[in-house]
Amino acid sequence: MEIFLIRHTSVDVPPGVCYGQTDVPLKPTFEQEAAITKKNLQTSLPFDHVYSSPLTRCVRLATYCGYPDAEKDKRIMEINFGSWEMKPFDCNDDPRLQQWYADYLNVAATGGESFAMQYQRVSQFLDELKKKSYKRVAIFAHGGVLICAQIYAGLIKAEEAFNNLTPYGGIIKIGL
């Protein structure tokens, strides 16, 4: 099965603000960015099935690309940063933040989840997807989800995950 993972376009959030699962707005450049993503997807068509994170930044891109009825699945949402959501990292005085910096793979954000927890739910989604008879699938999701999928497919290692962040509007392909 070929899976095309599409990252949402640029968010309208100040740099350094932790936004995870918060439903944030997209930049005013959405249409220009989305047009490029849609054009880049043309060489991968057709898809047997299309999924999207339920967050509007993914749903909006899926709709723009011609998939307003993409199946929504919460397991492909971005990492949950709990009480850190919408706070600038440099203004976060939670003592767990330093623990998270030291071991983001295993330390959960206060009231949220760790990268390992996100990986577990994305893996569960992909395990289920592998059982389906689709040949080609599109998934509109988030940077963290795309990283999890690449680790799952054996393309990158968890320790180097965030050196491989797909740009906004970018597309990666994995095989299952």
pLDDT in tens, 99-117: 999 998 999 999 999 999 9
What is the structure's pLDDT at 133? 97
Question: Cis before residue 46, ω within 30 degrees of 0?
Answer: yes
Find the Cα–Cα–Cα–Cα dihedral 33, 35, 8, 25, rounded to 10°: 60
Residue 108, judged by CB atoms within 10 A of its CB (0-12, 13-18, 19+), counts as buried
Rounded to 5°, angle at Cα 19 from 47 and 51 = 15
Q: Give the predicted TM-score (pTM) of the model.
A: 0.96
What is the structure's pLDDT at 162? 79
- Model confidence at 151: pLDDT above 90: yes
Mean pLDDT of 15-40: 97
Mean pLDDT of all residues belonging to the chain: 96
- Model confidence at 159: pLDDT above 90: no
Q: Which of 70, 33, 65, 64 is nearest to 168 (CA)?
A: 33
Q: Are 2 and 162 in contact (CB under 8 A)?
A: no
126 CB-near residues (< 8 Å, 6+ apart) = 3, 149, 152, 176
What is the structure's pLDDT at 25? 97
pLDDT in tens, 57-82: 999 999 999 999 999 999 999 999 99
What is the structure's pLDDT at 161? 82
Lowest-pLDDT choice from 21-30, 118-127, 154-163: 154-163
- Model confidence at 89: pLDDT above 90: yes
Entry field: residues in the chain:
176
* All structural domains of the chain with their residue ranges: 22-78, 80-132
